[in-house]
Structure 1
Amino acid sequence: MSVSVRTRALTAADGTLSHRYMALRSLMKICVKRRSVVTFLALFTLSVVLINTIPLLPKETMRLPPRDLKGSTSKRLPAGTPSTLLDLPPPLNGHKNKLFSGSSAIPFKQPLSHSVKAPVTSQAAKTLNSSNSTRLCQQKCIRDGGGHASVAVGEAEMTQQTVREVSGEETAHERKPDSFWKRRSHSFAGKESIPRDRMRGEKSDLCQISVGKWNETTPESLPWLSAGDVRKMAFLSGGVVLSKARVPGHGQVLQVGLGAGEAEAEAEAVLDHRQHCQSGSCALIKRPSDWFEVLAFHLDRVLELNRSLPSVLRNFKSKLLPYRYISGNARPVVWWDPDIQHLAEVDNDQNSFSLSWPLYQKVLQSRCGARVSLNATPCVGVQHSEWGRLALFDFLLQVNDRLDRYCCGFRPDPSDICLENLLHVKCKSPNDLLLVHILVRRADPSRLVFIDNAGRPHHPHDNLNFRLVEGIDEFPERAVSILRSGCLESMLLRSLSADRELWESRGGAEGLRPIIRTIQQRGTILLQHIQNRILRLNKDL
C-alpha cells in the first residue's frame, strides 16, 4: 500500500516538473525573440543614423586642364597613337545588341609610358567649374525646348560614368574654309578618369549655338554650313527651271536644270541640258515621301561628317514640269554633283567601283590608308576612316539600301523592295551580295559621297540593322562627342528651321521632335555598341 502511494507521489511530482520545464522553455524562447527584435531594431537605427550623418569619402578624379593652359607641362604620346577609347554609358535595360560574330577586331590599348598627369586644382574649384559648366549646357539645350530628351535618358548614367582618353592630344575637327570648331589641345594622363559631367561642360559651346528664335534662323547663321552649302541651298530654293530630263532606272526622280532668274532663263533655255548639268547647275527632284533626305543632309552637317549633298524642300510652279511635280506637295531637291564618278556599266552606274560584301569586309580588315597603302590589294582607294563615317550615318538613319540592300541584317516588312524583288533570298550566298551607292568624286577619290539618304525614320528599335556596323572598328570622334553632348536635338532643330518650307510643312519643332528623338535613341544604342566592342574614335581631320 505504501509503495503504490509513493509511486503515485513520484508520478505527480514528475508531472509537475515537466509542466514547469515546458513553461520555462516557452518563456526563454519568448525572451530570446524579444532580444533579437530589439537588437535588430537597434542595429537598423544605428545604420540609418550613420548613413545620414557620416559623409562618404571623396573620390579623386582627374579633370581636364584649363583651356588656356599651354602644353609646357605635358608630354605627348608616342607617334602612331591614332585613336581614343571611351567608357560610354552602359546598355539600356532590355536592349540586346544584335551583333555578328567576328564582325570587328578589338584593338588593344597602347602602353601609356609617356603620359603625364594634369595639374591638380582645389576640390572647391573642381566643384564650382563642373557645376557651372553642366548648368550652362542644360540651360542652353532646354531653352528652346530641345535636348531634354537625351538628358532625361542619360543624365544619371553620364554623371556616374567616366571617360578615359588614351591619346595625348585632343584636336578638334577643322573644316575648310570656315569651321566653327577651334583647335585646342589638352594634356592629361591617359589612364586617369575624367568626370563625364565635366566633359559635358567642355561641350557647352554646342548648346550655345542653339540659342535664339526659330523664325530668326538663316543658313548663314549656322556655323556647320559652309559658304558653298549656303549658296547651293539658295540656288536650289529659288532657281528657275530651264530644262528637264529623266534619270535612267529611277522613274520617280526628275533631273532639272536651274537658272538664277527669268532673264537668264530666256537666255539659257536653248543650252544643252547635259552641258548645263556639267556646270553644276542641275538638281534632282524626288518624291514627297523622301523629305527625310533633307533632314539627313542637316544631320550630316551637324555631326561634322560633311559627305552628303546639299538639299532643300521646295514647291515648284514651273510649266516645264509634269503636273504631279506642281500639284502643291513640297518635294526634296538635291544638288546634282557633276564630279561624282560613275561606272560605265548600265546596271551598275550607281557605284564608283564594284564592291561585294566579302570584299568589303576584307577592305575593312586591311585598314587602307592607315595600315596599308590605298592602292594595295584589296583596297579600292578609299580611306579607312570613311567607312566609319558611312556606318554611323547609315545606322542613325537606318539606310539599308547602301550596305545591306538585301535586308540581311533585320526583319524586313512584306512591303519592302528586298522581299518584292526576291533579294532577301540571296542572304545565304554572301558572294552575291553587292553594295550600292558607294560613290566618290573624281577630284578626291579617297572620300565617299553619301546619296539617297532617305532611310527609315520610323524603324522600330527592336529591329535595328546592326549589319550596317559589322566590321567597323573605329568611328569619327567629333560625331560621337556631339551624340554624347546632349544637345543634338536643339542643334538639329536649329538647322532644320533654316529651311522654311520643311519647317512649316512638317509642323515646326513639335512635328520634328519625335523623329529627332528617334535618331537620338539610335545614337545612344550606337554608343553602347562602341562601348561593348571597345572601338576606336578616329580624330580624322
Structure 2
Amino acid sequence: MGKSRFHWLCFPLFRLTSSFRRCPLSKRSLLIATICVVYLVFVVLQVGYSQQHRDRWTGKDKYRHTRGLYNLEHNGVHQDSADLQTGGSYVVPTRSNVVYITLKFKRLKPANIRGTIRPKLRRKVRRNNSAFTQNKHGTLERDAGQIKHNFEPKTSWKEAKDVDYKSLDIIPKSHKDIAADSQSTSIRIYSQKAPPWFSPQDVRAMRFLADGKVLRIREVSHGDSPSLVIFEGETRVSPSNQNHTTRNNVCGGRCGVINSPVETTEVFAFHLDRVLGLNRTLPAVSRRFRFLHEGQPCPVVSWDASLYPEGLAAGWATVRLTWGEYQSSLKQRCWHKNVSPKLDSGCSNIHHYEWSKLALFDFLLQIHNRLDQSCCGFRPRREDACVELGLHAECADQDHIQLANIIHRGHDPRHLVFTNNKGFFDRNEDNLDFRLLEGIKELPEQAVSVLRSRRLRERLLQSLFLDQTYWESQGGRQGIDKLIDVIERRAKVLLTYINAHGIKVITMKV
C-alpha cells in the first residue's frame, strides 16, 4: 500500500525527468538558463527588501533616542515616558524664569498707536453697595455723594489739607470666601523664583500693591504739585523708612499712590527699567478699585517717604539745573571715579553716570518732561502740555530752560529716581526727541547689551505677563506686542545713533 502511494506521488516527477532527458540539448540549456535567471531576480529583490526594512527600523530607533534631547533644547519641554523607557537623553532646564512665552509670529506691519494706550471705558453701572461709609446708618446715596465730593480735583492745591477718607467697610465673609481671596492674586509667578531682573523686594512690593488689603485712603497735597491719592495697607514698616514716615506723617505702614487710569505708562516703565538693569523706578502695578474710576485699572506706584526728606510741604528732593548747567556738568563728568568736583564747578550732587541712564530710558519711552519740558527736540502737537502752557516758546533761549522732575532720595543724593514716567508710544521714527541724548558720550553696557541681543521682546513679554491686570487691560498679547513694537523700533534707532556718534558703551556701577 505504501509503495503504490509513493509511486503514484512520484510518477509526475519521473515522467518530467524522462521527458527532459529526451529533449534536445539546446532546449535543455535554454530551460536551465531561464530557471537561473528567474532565481537570480528573486534573490536580488529579496535582498533589497530586507536592506530597506532594516534601514527603516534603524532610523526609527535613532529618532527615538534623540527625540527627548531635541525637544528639550528647542521646545523647552520635558521628554515623555516613552523616551525614558528607550533610554533617551534627559536634560534638566536651568533657567529660573517661570514664564515661557513663544514668539509665534513676526509683525510685518508696525501698529499705528495714538497716544498712550488707554483702557476701554465701560458704561457706568449703578452699584448697590458702597465701599466707603461715614455713618453706618446713612443712606447709600449720601455715601456716594460724599465719595464723589472728596475725590473731585481741587482748584487750589496749596490750600488743600490732608483729608482722612472714610474707612473701608468690610463685609463679613464666610470661611470659604476668605480662603479663596487669600489664594487669588493678579501677580502670576508660577514657580519659586521670579524672573532674575526682579529683586525679592520688588516681588514683595508688587504683591502688596496688587493684592494688599486696603485699610484707608487719603488725599494729601505736597508743595506746588497736584495732590496724591494714597491707600494704606499693612501697618508694618521697614526700619530704614521709619524716620521718613514719622516725619511726613502720611503713611503709618506700607502704602501705594493711586494714579489716573490713563497713566498706564508707569507700569510699562517699571518693567522696562528692570529688564534693562537700570533699577531706578519705583515698583508699579495695575489694580482695580471698585470705588474709584468706575472700576477701571489704575496704575499704583509704591510710596517712598525718602523722596520727601523735608516733609510733604517742601515737596520732592529735586535738583535744580538749567539746560546750560546740565550740559556743562556732562562735560566735567561730575563725581566720576568718586572725585569731588571743585566748589565753583557748578556740578550738582548727581553722579555723571546717572544722566546716561536717564537719557537712554527717556529716549526709549520718549519721556520729555524731565530733560525737555519745553518740547524743543521734536514737533509737538497742539494738545501737548508744552504748547498749551506756552512753554514751547522758550526754545529760543534754550540754555536758560529749567530741567524738571530731577528727583533723588534724601539720604542718597548721588542716584536719581525716575518718577512721573509719562511716555508716548505714538511718535514715529521721524519725530523722535534726540535732544534727550545731547551731550551724552557714554551709555550703560548692561542696558545696551539687552538691546543688541534681540531678546528685548522676549524679556518684556515674560515680565509684563506677571501683572495680569495690566496684561488684560492692554488687550492681552496682541496689545502688548504693539507696545513692544514701538520700543524695538526706537531701540534700533538708538543703536544706529550709538554707532554713528561713537558713543562708548561701558560698565556703570555706582
- TM (norm. structure 1) is 0.56
Equivalent residue number for residue 319 of structure 2: 353
Aligned-partner residue type, residue 403 of structure 2: L
Which residue of 323, 326, 329 maps to 2:296?
A: 329
Aligned-partner residue type, residue 246 of structure 1: V
| DSSP-derived class of the 1:259 partner | coil
| DSSP-derived class of the 1:246 partner | strand
Aligned-partner residue type, residue 487 of structure 2: I
Equivalent residue number for residue 332 of structure 2: 366
Q: For residues 422 and 276 of structure 1, do their structure 2 counterparts lie closer, same or farther at Cα, with a shift above 3 Å needed?
A: closer
TM-superposed deviation, 1:423: 0.4
CA contact (8 A) 1:151 1:486 kept: no
TM-superposed deviation, 1:395: 0.2
Equivalent residue number for residue 216 of structure 2: 242
If asked which structure has higher relative contact order (CA below 8 Å, sep 6+), I would say: 1
TM-superposed deviation, 1:443: 2.5
Q: For residues 485 and 537 of structure 1, do their structure 2 counterparts lie closer, same or farther at Cα, with a shift above 3 Å needed?
A: same
TM-superposed deviation, 1:252: 7.2
TM-superposed deviation, 1:369: 2.0
| DSSP-derived class of the 2:301 partner | strand
Q: For residues 234 and 137 of structure 1, do their structure 2 counterparts lie closer, same or farther at Cα, with a shift above 3 Å needed?
A: same
| DSSP-derived class of the 2:403 partner | coil
Which residue of 407, 411, 423 maps to 1:443?
A: 411
Matches within 5 A, 1:102-117: none
Q: For residues 219 and 398 of structure 1, do their structure 2 counterparts lie closer, same or farther at Cα, with a shift above 3 Å needed?
A: farther
Report the Cα distance in structure 2 between the residues aligned to 1:351 and 1:260, rounded to whole angstroms. 25
CA contact (8 A) 1:388 1:472 kept: yes
| DSSP-derived class of the 1:429 partner | helix
Report the Cα distance in structure 2 between the residues aligned to 1:380 and 1:425, rounded to whole angstroms. 27
Report the Cα distance in structure 2 between the residues aligned to 1:397 and 1:439, rounded to whole angstroms. 18
Aligned-partner residue type, residue 268 of structure 2: L
Which residue of 146, 152, 156 maps to 2:103?
A: 146
CA contact (8 A) 1:217 1:494 kept: no
Q: For residues 151 and 257 of structure 1, do their structure 2 counterparts lie closer, same or farther at Cα, with a shift above 3 Å needed?
A: same
Report the Cα distance in structure 2 between the residues aligned to 1:488 and 1:461, rounded to whole angstroms. 19
Report the Cα distance in structure 1 between the residues aligned to 2:288 and 2:211, rounded to whole angstroms. 10
More deviation, 329-338/441-450? 441-450
Which residue of 368, 381, 386 maps to 1:400?
A: 368
TM-superposed deviation, 1:247: 3.3
| DSSP-derived class of the 1:445 partner | strand
Equivalent residue number for residue 128 of structure 1: none
TM-superposed deviation, 1:283: 1.9
Once the two structures are superposed, residues 394-450 of structure 1 have per-residue CA deviations (whole angstroms, 9 ceiling, x without a partner) of 000000001101000000000001010000001111243111111111222111110
Equivalent residue number for residue 283 of structure 2: 310
Aligned-partner residue type, residue 324 of structure 2: P
Equivalent residue number for residue 41 of structure 1: none
Report the Cα distance in structure 1 between the residues aligned to 2:419 and 2:336, rounded to whole angstroms. 26
Matched positions, count: 331
Matches within 5 A, 1:10-159: 144-146=101-103
TM-superposed deviation, 1:242: 2.0
Once the two structures are superposed, residues 358-378 of structure 1 have per-residue CA deviations (whole angstroms, 9 ceiling, x without a partner) of 000001011112278344322
Report the Cα distance in structure 2 between the residues aligned to 1:429 and 1:479, rounded to whole angstroms. 33
Equivalent residue number for residue 36 of structure 2: none
Aligned-partner residue type, residue 144 of structure 1: I
Matches within 5 A, 1:227-266: 227-239=200-212, 240-248=214-222, 249-251=224-226, 253-259=228-234
Percent identity at matched positions? 37
Aligned-partner residue type, residue 331 of structure 2: Q
CA contact (8 A) 2:217 2:229 kept: no
Equivalent residue number for residue 170 of structure 1: none
CA contact (8 A) 2:318 2:407 kept: yes
Q: For residues 520 and 428 of structure 1, do their structure 2 counterparts lie closer, same or farther at Cα, with a shift above 3 Å needed?
A: same
TM-superposed deviation, 1:238: 2.0
| DSSP-derived class of the 1:471 partner | coil
Q: For residues 386 and 217 of structure 1, do their structure 2 counterparts lie closer, same or farther at Cα, with a shift above 3 Å needed?
A: farther
TM-superposed deviation, 1:260: 6.6
Report the Cα distance in structure 2 between the residues aligned to 1:280 and 1:535, rounded to whole angstroms. 44
Q: For residues 341 and 402 of structure 1, do their structure 2 counterparts lie closer, same or farther at Cα, with a shift above 3 Å needed?
A: same
| DSSP-derived class of the 1:360 partner | helix
Which residue of 250, 272, 279 maps to 1:299?
A: 272
Q: Does 1:281 align with 2:225?
A: no
Larger-Rg structure: 2
Matches within 5 A, 1:477-492: 477-492=445-460
Once the two structures are superposed, residues 475-502 of structure 1 have per-residue CA deviations (whole angstroms, 9 ceiling, x without a partner) of 0001000001111111101101111111
- TM (norm. structure 2) is 0.59
Aligned-partner residue type, residue 247 of structure 1: S
Report the Cα distance in structure 2 between the residues aligned to 1:515 and 1:509, rounded to whole angstroms. 10
Q: For residues 273 and 311 of structure 1, do their structure 2 counterparts lie closer, same or farther at Cα, with a shift above 3 Å needed?
A: farther
Aligned-partner residue type, residue 302 of structure 1: V
Report the Cα distance in structure 2 between the residues aligned to 1:226 and 1:484, rounded to whole angstroms. 24
Q: For residues 257 and 427 of structure 1, do their structure 2 counterparts lie closer, same or farther at Cα, with a shift above 3 Å needed?
A: same
Matches within 5 A, 1:506-521: 506-521=474-489
Aligned-partner residue type, residue 223 of structure 1: P
CA contact (8 A) 1:297 1:309 kept: yes
TM-superposed deviation, 1:219: 9.4
- The unaligned stretches of length 5 or more in structure 2 are 1-69, 78-94, 111-186, 237-244
